[in-house]
Amino acid sequence: MVRATDGLRLPGYDFVDPGLLAQALTHRSAAPAHNERLEFLGDALVNLFVAEALYKRWPRADEGTLTRARAELVRESALAAIARTLELGQHLVLGPGEMKSGGHRRDSILADAVEAIVGAIHLDGGFEACRTAVLPWFESSIDALPPPNKIGKDAKTRLQEWLQARGKPLPAYTLVSESGDEHAKTFRVACALAEPRIECEGEGTSRRAAEQVAAEAVLAKIDP
C-alpha cells in the first residue's frame, strides 16, 4: 500500500514517528484522524518563529512594522508557496470530493498542511528541533522583504490612500461569483474605479482576500 508519506523528504528533519507526519498530511475530508489540531498548534509556532526572526533582524522596527511583515510572511498564499516548494500536494490525503475538485492544488489546504507539519515536528522532536527545521523554509521570503521603513499597508488601504490623495472617488467592490463546497469556497470580486476608469478582478478563499487581490491588480495599473 502506498502511504501519503512515501517519497516525502522534509529538509532538515526526519520523523521518529512517521504517523504524526501522515496525520499532518490528512485533510478532514479523508479521515477522523485529520490534521486540524496539528494545524492549530503549527499556526502558533509559525507565528512565533517568524516574529522572533523579524525581531532579531530589525532591532529598531516598531510593532506595527513587525506585525505587517509577519502577516506578509505567514499569509495563506505564502504558506502555500512553501508547500509547493516541499512538494506536499502530491502527498496530501483527501476525501473523494476534495480530490475531484483539485484540493491538492488549493492554497488553503496547502497552507493548512504546512502548519500541521510544523505542529507535528514540534510534537515529534521538540521546540528547538522544530525551529531549526522550519525557519529555513522562510529565509528566502524574509530576505526578499523590503527595508522596514518600506513595509507597506495592505492593497485596499494603499489604493484608498492613493485615490484620496488625488481627490478621486473611492473604489467599489462587487462580488462577481462564489464557487466550491461550503467549507472550501472560492470568491471572485471586482474592484472598479470611476476615475481613472479601471476594473480588475481577483480570487481568494474569502471575500476579503479576493478584494485584496483585486485591489492589488488595480494598483499595478495606476501606480506601476
The whole-number pLDDT of residue 54 equals 97
- pLDDT, tens only, 177-196: 998 877 678 899 999 999 99
Residues annotated in a binding site for Mg(2+): 39, 112, 115
Residues annotated in a binding site: 39, 112, 115
The whole-number pLDDT of residue 19 equals 94
- pLDDT, tens only, 94-139: 999 888 888 888 899 999 999 999 999 999 999 999 999 999 999 9
The whole-number pLDDT of residue 4 equals 57
For domain 155-222, give the fold.
Double Stranded RNA Binding Domain (3.30.160)
The whole-number pLDDT of residue 2 equals 37
The whole-number pLDDT of residue 5 equals 58
Spell out, as residue ranges, where the chain has pLDDT lower than 50. Answer: 1-2
Domain boundaries of the chain, sorted by first residue: 18-150, 155-222
For domain 18-150, give the fold.
Ribonuclease iii, N-terminal Endonuclease Domain; Chain A (1.10.1520)
- Active-site entry in 43, 72, 107, 124: 43
For residue 191, give the 3-state DSSP assignment.
Answer: strand
Per DSSP, the residues of 131-187 read: HHHHHHHHHHHHHTSPPGGGPPPPHHHHHHHHHHHTT-PPPEEEEEEEES-TTS-EE
CA distance 115 to 123: 13
The whole-number pLDDT of residue 135 equals 96
Q: What amino acid occupies position 157?
A: T
C-alpha dihedral, 45 to 51 to 57 to 62, nearest 10°: -170
**43 included as an active-site residue:** yes
- Active-site entry in 72, 76, 98, 115: 115
**195 included as an active-site residue:** no
How far the first Cα of the chain sits from its last, in Å, is: 52
Match 485591489 to its residue by C-alpha cell. 215
